[in-house]
Structure 1
C-alpha cells in the first residue's frame, strides 16, 4: 500500500510514521467536508445553545431549535445560519482527515503491519486517543475561530472592534494580536477531555464491526454493506456523545468572547452554581440531531472512498 512518503519506511526514530497512507487522509477530508456542508446550521444552533447561560444580555434567548432557526433567519437572514462555515469546513476536513490518517497509522503500527489482527477494545481506545491529541494540537485554533464566528450576533452593539470579525483570516489576526497564542488555544484543556469522545466512539465502532464480522463468520476486517456501516456509526456516536457531551459545553463557553471565565475550573464552577447539572448538557438534543447524521455521512463516505483508493493502489501494484 502506498505511503505519504516512502522514506518513512526507513525512519529509525519514528517507525510508527512508516504506516502513513494518504488514502485515509483523502477519505477523511472528503467525509468531514461533505457532512459539514450539509449540517452546519445545526452546528451553529448547538453552539449558541451551549454558551447561553441565561445571564448574558448580549446573548439571544432561544426556547428551542425551531425557535432558534426562526429567530436567526429573521434577524440575520439565511446567511446567518452559515456563519463560521469556512473554518468549520476547514476544521472538520482537517480534523477528520488527520484523525483517520493518524488513527490507522498508529493502529497498523500496533498490529505490526497485520491489519487483519484484532486489537481489542483498550488498544483501539489508545490508538484513537493518541490520534485525537495530535489532531487537537493542529486544529484547536480553527475551532476557536469557528466558535467566535458562530457567535457574531447582530445585537452586539457594545462589542469592541477587536472582537468583531469579518471572516476567518480577520479573526485569526485579531485573536493573535489581542490574546496571543493563549487565545488560539482557549478550550484546549476540555478539548483534551474530549479526546475520550473520539476514543469511545472509535472503540465502539471498531468493536461493533469486528463482532458483527465474527458473527457472520468472516474476517475481522471484511467489508460491510452501507446500511451496516450506518448502523455502526450511528450507535457508536450516540454512545460517545451521551457520555462525553459536557466537555463541548465547557470548550464553547471558554472560546466564547462574550464570557470571561478565568479557566476551566472557574467555568465548571460557574455552570454548576447558576445552572446546575443541566447546564452541562445545554444543546445536547440539537447536538445529537447534528452529530448522528454527520457521523453517518462522514464514516460511510470515508469507508467507501478509502476502500476504493486502497483497491486502486492494490490493482496498480499487481500490474
Structure 2
C-alpha cells in the first residue's frame, strides 16, 4: 500500500512532470530530424508552392520534388526551416507530453478509470496547451520552408531572423489594407505570428485526441500490465508499432485542418495586405482542387507522420525509463 501511495504522489509531482517533459522534448527533436526532408516537401505541397505543384498527387512526385531540392540546394535545402523546427519542437513536445501526463493522471488516476473518452480528452487538452505556447515558432518555420526562388523576391537565404522581420512588417504599413485589419495589427502586432491559429486549435482536438486515444487504447489492450512489485518492462518494438498506428489514424482524421492551416500561415506572403480568413481559405482550396484539395500531400503525410509518431512515442517512453519516471 505505501508503495502505491508513493507512486501516486510521484505522478502528481512537478519533478515527475518535468522529467517526462524533458523526455518528450528530446523525443520530438529526434523524430522531427528523422523526417525533416519529407516535412519540407510536404509544406511545399500543402501551400501550393508554384515551383512544386506539378509534383503533387503521387508518391513518386514527393521523391522527385526532394531530388530537385537536393540538386538545387543540397542537404541544406532539404533541411531549410529545420532550425526553426527544432526551436519549436523541443518546447512543443515537452509541454505536450508533460501536460498529457498531468491531465491523464487528473482524469484517470488508476488504469481501471481509463476510458476512450477520457483518453481523447487528455490528448486534446495536452495538444491545445502546447500549441498555445509555441505557435509563433510554427509560423516562422513554415515561412522558412515555403520560400523558393520564385516565391521569394529576396535573393537572401531564408533565416529565422529574416522570417521574423518579414512577418512583423506585413499588413500594418500597407496602404491597401483595410482599416479593421490595420487597427488589429497595429494594436496587437503579435497576432501576425498567429495566422491560422484558430484552425490549428480546432484541428488539434481530433489530431492529438485521436493520437493519444489510439496510443492509450492499444497499449492497454496489447501490452500486459506488470504484476505488483514488478518493474515495468521495456517495449520498444510495441511502442514503435503502436505509435505508428496512432499517427496514421490521427493524420487521416485531421488532415483537412492541416491544409487550411498551412494556407493561412503563408497568407502573409500571398496576401500581405490583410488577414486570410477561414471561409475564403476553404473556398480557395475547394475552387482549385475540389474535395481532393483538402488531402493534397496526404501520401507524403503518411510517409512523414507514421515514422515521426512512432519514433516520438518510442523515444519518449525510453527517455522516461532512463530518467526513472
Superposition TM-score tier, normalisation by shorter sequence: 0.7 to 0.9
Question: Aligned-pair distance for 1:207?
Answer: 0.9
Q: Distance in 2 between matches of 1:223 and 1:263?
A: 49
> What are the equivalent positions in structure 2 for 1:163-202 lying under 5 Å apart?
166-179=158-171, 180-195=189-204, 196-202=206-212
* Partner residue, 2:55: 62
Answer yes or no: is 1:264 the counterpart of 2:278: yes
> How far apart, CA to CA, are the structure 1 residues paired with 2:68 and 2:14?
51
Structure 1 stretches lacking a partner, 5+ long: 1-8, 10-15, 312-319
- Report matched runs for 1:25-40 at 5 Å: 25-40=21-36
Distance 1:264 1:219, change over 3 A: farther
Q: How many residues align?
A: 287
Task: Between 218-227 and 169-178, report the one with greater CA deviation.
Answer: 218-227
CA distance in 1, matches of 2:222, 2:50: 51
SS of equivalent to 2:35: helix
Q: 2:264 aligns with which of 235, 254, 266?
A: 254
C-alpha contact (below 8 Å) 2:50/2:151 kept by paired residues? no
**Normalization by structure 1: what TM-score?**
0.82
- Secondary structure of 2:88 counterpart: helix
In the alignment, the residues of structure 1 paired with residue 151 and residue 277 of structure 2 have an alpha-carbon distance, to the nearest angstrom, of 24
1:149/1:228 CA distance change after superposition, 3 Å? same
| Cα displacement string for residues 117-166 of structure 1 (whole angstroms, at most 9, x for unaligned residues) | 44211111111111111111111101100100001112246x379xx774
Q: Work out the CA distance in 2 between the residues paired with 1:168 and 1:115.
A: 44
Tell me: CA distance 1:41–1:123, structure 2 relative to 1, closer, same or farther (3 Å): same
CA shift in 2, pair 1:242/1:219, >3 Å? farther
Instruction: Please give the per-residue CA displacement for 1:164-211, whole angstroms capped at 9, x wherever unaligned.
Output: 774112322331343532220011112012212011010110011011
Task: Give the root-mean-square deviation of aligned CA atoms.
Answer: 2.6
Q: Which runs of 5+ in 2 are unaligned?
A: 1-8, 172-188
Residues 199, 257 of structure 2: 8 Å contact kept: yes
Name the structure 2 match of 1:95.
Answer: 92
Match of 2:77 among 75, 80, 100: 80
Give TM-score scaled by structure 2 length. 0.80
Contact 2:41 2:65 in 1 (8 A): yes
**How does 1:113-132 map onto structure 2 within 5 Å?**
114-132=109-127
| 1:50 alignment partner in structure 2 | 46
Does the 8 Å contact 2:45/2:52 carry over to 1? no
